Amino acid sequence: MPDPIILIDGYAHVYRSFYAIRDLSNAKGEPTNALYGMVRLLLKIDQEMPSSLGVVVFDKGKCTRRLAIRPEYKGTRAPMPDPLRQQVPAIRDAIAWLGWPILDWEGHEADDLIAGLVAVRGAHPARILSADKDLSQLVSGDVTLTVPGGKGTWLDLGPAEVADKFGVRPEAIADYLALVGDTSDNIAGVPGVGAKTAAKLLAAHGSIEGILSHVDYVGNLRVREALAASADLLRANRELTVLRLDLPEGWSDPAALRRRPPDWQRLLDNARENDFKSLTDLFRKRLDDARNPSLF
């Protein structure tokens, strides 16, 4: 079987590292918690999900397409904390030194870029490392959504697990989110339509357009009236929740995702500069191993 493509939702894990590790700084007093957490995460992924293909994907700027549809999209999100923002350049350096390609594109969100990479994966299976429910719509027989589990474990969500979690198949997730809304993205759903009602509507009618075409057949009067009054909202929501497949030039070939050998010397120097004792010992050993391949 071809190597899987490991697709990492960059800022999702950067934020997770930042909040999971508290009060870590170097001798200069600079915050280093997210940097340390991301390096440890990528080392863990190398050990538990080895592959020659992978990429760390980041949002870049505001999503021009979605803001054109709804200017208040993601308008309720707090800005990135300054102690985290200070670490982003060092995190990107460390990712590159560990051999991971980095993908971002001005005006585009990581979710859409991940969707584009899934679409051009060819015969390669894919593992998407993120807890973002929007990415559930990409899950298929050979595409899994890998989410953090308890005590450092991972949980792989396939089509059956997505259906168990949301009550709809992956291909209906965009419609499901359009119906129920998404507070994290500041997307308002249809009043009175919760998760169970949305799942029942989609089971009966298949899609947003199917629901709107048969709205007179919806048994609950309150829900029927809310759906009829929300037709424009639902169609706009669907444009917000569905993932696009556009990629920047040069990224449509899986060869662009080929990992490079880590730069152990730069990683060692960085670990020393930031007082990462355990990483210093690890990278010194990795560097020695790389310089003496005849020993193995």
Give pLDDT tens digits for 64-99: 999 999 999 999 999 999 999 999 999 999 999 999
| Range 179-205 average pLDDT | 94
Whether residues 249 and 231 share a domain: the answer is no
Give burial (CB, 10 Å; 0-12/13-18/19+) of 244.
Answer: middle
Look at residue 205 and tell me whether its pLDDT is greater than 90.
yes
Domain co-membership, 126 together with 104:
yes
Dist. CA 289–CA 296, nearest whole Å: 8
Note the pLDDT of residue 294.
60
Tens of pLDDT, residue by residue over 12-62, are 999 999 999 998 999 999 999 999 999 999 999 999 999 999 999 999 999
**Residue 221 shares a structural domain with residue 197:** yes
Q: Quickly count: other Cβ atoms within 10 Å of residue 173's Cβ.
A: 24
Do 53 and 185 lie in a common domain?
no
Domain count, the chain: 2
Q: What is the mean pLDDT of residues 283-294?
A: 86
Please say if the pLDDT value at position 164 is more than 50.
yes
**Confidence (pLDDT) at 256:** 94
- For 220-245, the pLDDT digits (tens) are 899 999 999 999 999 999 999 999 99
**pLDDT of 111 above 50:** yes
pLDDT score at 283: 96
User: For the whole model, what pTM was predicted?
Assistant: 0.95
Q: Tell me the CATH number at 199.
A: 1.10.150.20
Q: How far apart are CA 255 and CA 164, in angstroms?
A: 35
On whether both 14 and 144 belong to a single domain, the answer is: yes
Domain identity same for 150 and 197:
no
Cα 142 from chain centroid (whole Å): 17
